[in-house]
Amino acid sequence: MASSSTSVDVEIFGATYHVRGEHDRQYLQQLAEMVDQKMREISEKAPTVDTGKIAILAALNLADELLQCNNQQEGERVEIMEKVAELTGVLTKALNS
């Protein structure tokens, strides 16, 4: 079964791109807005850098944010599993008493 795709024109850093994806138009537009915002933030700090370098720096910044979120989520998962194991031990002990 083939998945449906959505197409939308988005503007990123002054250029229009035709984007196709498996999500709805609003989601694709939101992604483009995130990239555009990150590129604009970087260009304000380094106005002489060319667009290609700004795009790479934006990608690195977004990848850093994603990795930090993933690491935080993994840490929270470990904490939850430890708490579940602790509570399971308490419940087992209570049931065996």
CA dist 56 and 77 (Å) reads: 31
If pLDDT is split at 50, 70 and 90, which confidence band does 4 have?
Answer: confident
Name the percent of the chain lying above pLDDT 70: 97
Q: Is the pLDDT of residue 53 over 60?
A: yes
pTM for the complete prediction?
Answer: 0.76
Secondary structure tally for the chain: helices H, strands E: 2, 2
pLDDT bucket at 20, cuts 50 / 70 / 90: very high
**Contact yes or no for 44/24 (Cβ under 8 A):** no
- Asked if the model's pLDDT at residue 14 lies above 70, the reply is yes
pLDDT given at position 86: 95
